[in-house]
């Protein structure tokens, strides 16, 4: 007789349960160094523990794992293979265990859509939360036309959402040239046959000035992107990159990319010009302190953890709250900002240079390489 199938849970279902506040015991059986590079850290009720599978099998008793036998146990590994064996082992010990299909590789592809309050001209504001990276992208819909902002490389996720919303893509925008993940903007624009918007200062390598090999439509300070009856106004806010932009909608929303986060700002060192870009960042922060209204909702492209979430689980905050609580924007002296950035910014991940060049079309990356390069949470903020 064939063996019964090993019970599994999809990474999407795991994310939905954690997002809903369901208590989940999660056992990560990868090697300790892999866990240190990136692990599930999502949800306020996550009960996480990690021990390599080889050590688990040598335990005389499972009490050191401190697992509650009265609650299910979810087991995760790299690609969903070793976790099946560990799940079977735990079930033989009396636990209700489930293997995460696809493992951490699949967890990195989970996007949870969050439907935010509409504005006067945008009837759908959707924040897509890529929970494995702490990366956020957006779909804005006005009268059936959609603009997609900062998409990840998994374009099918956006296709599915657009179909659900019965919306037609009109444009794709990158708020800056990303370094922590491979952008899906160029692929999406080609698939949907719509313009790809980017600030021209980010269309070349920050390392040597080499022009990117791709087609785009440049947008600069004061330009607008119209769709349906809505208009996005472009504000140039350099600092994280030379071409960072914020997209302003109805004076109600600011999609800030990696320029401004809820609890920090985008690190200005990823182009190898930390002090020069910090001075640009200083001027950009000083400008929005003068010009932005307190009621404007800031919607960033990244977050660092659960404290940056609102009650509805979305990530964002009113600008007046950010001014009152964000350490970076509270610094009112350029020299002090330079010192704070220098003290708080670790060395950039080695993969970020390759990702940046891949997004510029200057290096080719296979799907296997993409999985390796992108693995782990983002490190885009000054912390």
User: 182, 356, 177: which is closest to 257 by C-alpha?
Assistant: 177
- For 111-374, CATH number out of 2.30.30.230, 3.40.190.100, 3.60.15.10, 3.10.530.10 equals 3.60.15.10
Q: Which residues contact 276 (CB under 8 A, 6 or more apart)?
A: none
3-state secondary structure of 340: helix
Residue 380: active-site member: no
One fold for 8-107 and 111-374: no
Domain boundaries, the chain: 8-107, 111-374
Q: What is the pTM for the complete model shown? A: 0.96
**Residues of the chain predicted below pLDDT 70:** 1-3
User: Taking every pair of C-alpha atoms in the chain, what is the biggest distance, in angstroms?
Assistant: 74
pLDDT at position 150 is 98
pLDDT at position 5 is 86
Determine the Cα–Cα distance for residues 78 and 368; give it in Å rounded to an integer.
13
Query: Of these residues, 29, 75, 77, 270, which one is catalytic?
Result: 77
Q: Which region holds residue 294: left if phi is over 0, alpha if psi is between -120 and 50, else beta?
A: alpha
Report whether 238 contacts 286 (CB < 8 A). no
Determine the Cα–Cα distance for residues 313 and 16; give it in Å rounded to an integer.
12
What is the DSSP secondary structure assignment for residue 200, as one 8-state letter?
G
pLDDT at position 3 is 65
pLDDT at position 1 is 57
Determine the Cα–Cα distance for residues 106 and 339; give it in Å rounded to an integer.
39
Looking at CATH, the fold of the domain delimited by 8-107 is given as: Oxidized Rhodanese; domain 1 (3.40.250)
pLDDT at position 2 is 58
Residues making up the chain, counted from first to last: 383
DSSP line for 334-360: HHHHHHHHHHH--PPPTHHHHHHHHHT
User: 16, 21, 14, 110: which is closest to 311 by C-alpha?
Assistant: 21
What is the DSSP secondary structure assignment for residue 183, as one 8-state letter?
B
Q: Which region holds residue 102: left if phi is over 0, alpha if psi is between -120 and 50, else beta?
A: left
Report whether 123 contacts 140 (CB < 8 A). no
């Amino acid at each position: 007789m064939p063996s019964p199938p090993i019970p599994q849970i999809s990474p999407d279902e795991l994310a939905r349960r954690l997002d809903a506040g369901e208590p989940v015991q999660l056992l990560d059986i990868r090697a300790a160094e892999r866990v240190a590079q990136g692990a599930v850290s999502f949800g306020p009720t996550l009960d996480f523990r990690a021990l390599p599978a080889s050590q688990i099998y040598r335990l005389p008793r499972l009490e050191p794992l401190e697992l509650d036998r009265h609650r299910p146990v979810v087991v995760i590994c790299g690609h969903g293979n070793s976790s099946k064996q560990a799940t079977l082992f735990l079930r033989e010990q009396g636990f209700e265990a489930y293997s995460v299909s696809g493992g951490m590789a699949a967890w990195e592809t989970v996007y949870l859509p969050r439907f935010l309050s509409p504005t006067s001209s945008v009837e759908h504001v959707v924040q897509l939360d890529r929970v494995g990276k702490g990366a956020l992208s957006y779909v804005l819909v006005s009268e059936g036309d959609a603009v997609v902002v900062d998409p990840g490389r998994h374009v099918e996720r956006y296709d599915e959402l657009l179909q659900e919303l019965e919306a037609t893509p009109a444009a794709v925008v990158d708020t800056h040239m990303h370094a922590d993940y491979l952008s899906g903007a160029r692929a999406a624009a080609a698939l949907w046959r719509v313009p790809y918007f980017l600030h021209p200062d980010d269309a070349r390598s920050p390392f040597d000035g080499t022009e990117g090999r791709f087609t785009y439509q440049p947008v600069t300070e004061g330009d607008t992107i119209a769709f349906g009856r809505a208009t996005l106004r472009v504000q140039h806010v350099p600092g994280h990159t030379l071409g960072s932009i914020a997209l302003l909608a109805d004076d109600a929303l600011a999609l800030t990319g990696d320029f401004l986060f809820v609890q920090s700002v985008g690190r200005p060192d990823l182009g190898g010009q930390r002090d020069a870009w910090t001075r640009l960042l200083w001027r950009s922060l000083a400008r929005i302190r003068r010009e932005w209204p307190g009621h404007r909702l800031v919607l960033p492209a990244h977050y660092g953890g659960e404290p940056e979430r609102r009650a509805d689980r979305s990530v964002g905050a009113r600008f007046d709250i950010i001014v009152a609580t964000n350490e970076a924007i509270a610094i009112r002296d350029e020299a002090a900002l330079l010192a704070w950035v220098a003290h708080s910014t670790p060395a950039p991940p080695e993969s970020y240079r390759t990702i940046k060049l891949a997004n510029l079309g200057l290096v080719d990356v296979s799907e296997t390489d993409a999985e390796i390069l992108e693995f782990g949470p983002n490190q885009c903020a000054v912390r």
